[in-house]
Amino acid sequence: MHNFYRQAKFLLSCPSLKGCPNDSGYEVIFAGRSNAGKSSAINTLTEQKKLAKVSRTPGRTQHLVFFDLGNDRRLVDLPGYGYAKVPDAIKQDWHQNMSEYFDNRKCIKAAILVMDSRHPFKPFDQMMLEWCINSKVPINILLTKSDKLKKGAASSAKLSALKTVQDFPSVNVQLFSSLKKEGVSELCVYLDKVFEISNES
Domain edges within the chain:
4-195
Kindly tell me the burial class for residue 37, based on how many C-beta atoms sit within 10 Å of its own C-beta (0-12, 13-18, 19 or more).
buried
| CA distance linking residue 171 with residue 168, whole number of Å | 6
pTM: 0.92
Specify the pLDDT at position 84.
Answer: 52
Asked if residue 36 lies in contact with residue 121, where contact means CB atoms within 8 angstroms, the answer is: no
Q: What is the DSSP letter of 21?
A: P
| CA distance linking residue 45 with residue 40, whole number of Å | 8
| CA distance linking residue 174 with residue 117, whole number of Å | 10
Q: Does domain 4-195 have CATH number 3.30.43.10?
A: no
Per-residue pLDDT tens, the chain, 201 aa: give them: 568 999 999 999 987 778 899 999 999 999 998 889 999 999 999 999 999 986 655 555 568 899 999 999 999 998 876 655 667 777 777 778 778 888 889 999 999 999 999 999 998 899 889 989 989 999 999 999 999 999 999 999 999 999 999 999 899 999 999 999 999 999 999 999 999 987 544
Asked if residue 65 lies in contact with residue 13, where contact means CB atoms within 8 angstroms, the answer is: yes
Specify the pLDDT at position 99.
Answer: 81
